[in-house]
Structure formats: structure tokens, C-alpha cells
Amino acid sequence: MQIKARPMGPYQTNCYIVSEGGVDLIIDPGVDATEWVMRNVSKPAAILNTHGHFDHVWSNKELKERLGVPIYCPKEDLFMLEKDPFGQGTPPSRADVAVEPDARYTIGGIDVTFLHFPGHTPGCSAIEIGENWFCGDFLFRGSIGRVDFPYSDPKAMKKSLERALKYPKNVTLYPGHGPKSTLEAEKRSIRYWIEIL
């Protein structure tokens, strides 16, 4: 498995391309992600959104039009793709697959699980591929996603953190912003946030 990453736009939102068996999955194509993605995919199979915030989905529409691939997004966040609730001028996009919590898919031969960790947004998910979580704005190195935005829920975040703490294996974390980490390395931080939420 090959993982390419590039921070995009003013919020430096990480866009990822996961390639395996000659197939490419595009995760969270944010602001101005299109040209970088186009240069780095050879056989794209899907666009995957960890959640619906504009800085993670901005290039959905343009990439779908140019690549002809389906968009997968957690169903609870679909309204953010379609209606631009934060008024950022996000190009509207429509998911082809409304992802149910903890749904599993095989896309182009690659096994993908959307682990539902609501709190930052209603549909916030970590996309598990192999031993990796592409965790959007759920977990960062030393921190967690904000819960003071519209549609955020601190109580849901606390439950999500408790669930992550009990996850039975270590995984590499590829967050929506900043450097990668591991679930094991973040457990102290997770316990801290559980206590203060």
C-alpha cells in the first residue's frame, strides 16, 4: 500500500491518495486539491470523505466531474456537501453512497471501513484501510477535533473517544491536519480529553 499526502488550502487540510493493487482512493480532497490529485492517480476508484466540513470536501465536485468516480460520505453529513451551511462558497456536491455508521465496502479490491466517531460533526468517521485510520478531524497528534462548531456535540465526542480508547489494535493515524501518529501514542491525550469534556 502506498499513501501520498498533501496539505491543501488555507487550513492546510491533508488530502490523501491511497494506492493498492494499481487502484487509487482519494480521501478528503480539500481546497485546490484537484490538480495534485490528477497528477498522482492512475486508476482512481472513489472519493472518500471523513466528514462534511468544507475544507475536506471542497474539490469533490470538480474531481467527480473529471474522474467519473463515486463519492462516499457519512450520511449524517450529506447536508454539508449539498447546502454549504457555513457559507464558505463550497462547490456543492452530492454523494453517490450515503455511508451508514461503521459500514464496510470493497472498492476496487480495497477493503474500507467507515468507523463512526461523531462529535466534531454528526457523521465524523475514521476511514480504516488496512492498519491505518484516515481520521479526518476526529484525532490529531496530541489533540482532538473541535466541538464548539455548529452541529458539533461534546457528549458524542466523549463517547467516540471512549470507543477509540477500547479499540483492540494499534493503527497508524493519518489526520485531517498535521502529522501522522498512532492510536497507541495518542491514548494519553485521549484520556485527558475524556476527562475534560
CATH (domain of 124): 3.60.15.10
Per residue in 20-63, pLDDT (tens digit) is 999 999 999 999 999 999 999 999 999 999 999 999 999 999 99
**Partner residues linked to 4 by β-bridges:** 17
Give the pLDDT score at 50: 99
Give the pLDDT score at 183: 98
* Bridging pattern class, strands 139-140 and 143-144: antiparallel
Mean of all residue pLDDT scores within the chain: 98
Distance CA 113, CA 129 (A): 7
Distance CA 179, CA 194 (A): 22
Give the pLDDT score at 40: 98
**The total number of structural domains that make up the chain:** 1
Quote the domain boundaries for residue 136.
2-196
Give the pLDDT score at 51: 98
Give the pLDDT score at 104: 98
Q: How far is CA 146 from CA 67, 88, 129, 130, in A?
A: 32, 18, 24, 27
Per residue in 79-112, pLDDT (tens digit) is 999 999 999 999 999 999 999 999 999 999 999 9
Give the pLDDT score at 102: 98
Tell me the whole-structure pTM to 2 decimals.
0.98
